């Protein structure tokens, strides 16, 4: 089976709600063949230009992924962390 991959997605620099929707849509369209690669980035200037503190990148990545997993697996989601405070949806 041929897979479809994203390469490395800089999750800390993306809105986790939109990214979760985009990834889920691609997975459905591809018939479950999506390979979602994630990373937190290394370029301080790029992260700064996306509003991300370089030293918080890993922590933001972790929270974004945790929220995305919740969005993919539950009908109603509430998430509170150091970087995200997401009310029930």
Terminal C-alpha separation, the chain? 35
**What confidence tier does 88 reach under pLDDT thresholds 50, 70, 90?**
confident
CB 81 within 8 A of CB 71: no
Measured on CA atoms in the order 63, 71, 75, 88, is the torsion positive or negative? Answer: positive
> pLDDT tens digit string along 22-60?
999 999 999 999 999 999 889 999 999 999 999 999 999
Gap between the Cα atoms of 78 and 71, Å rounded: 9
The reply to whether the predicted model has a pTM over 0.85 is yes
What residue segments make up the domains of the chain, in order of their start? 4-83
């Amino acid at each position: 089976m041929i897979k479809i991959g994203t390469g490395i997605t800089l999750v800390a620099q993306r809105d986790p709600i939109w990214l979760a929707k985009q990834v889920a849509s691609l997975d459905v369209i591809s018939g479950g063949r999506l390979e979602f690669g994630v990373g937190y980035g290394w370029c301080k200037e790029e992260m700064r230009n996306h509003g991300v503190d370089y030293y918080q990148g890993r922590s933001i990545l972790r929270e974004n992924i945790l929220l995305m997993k919740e969005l993919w697996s539950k009908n109603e989601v509430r998430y509170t962390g150091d970087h995200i405070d997401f009310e029930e949806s």
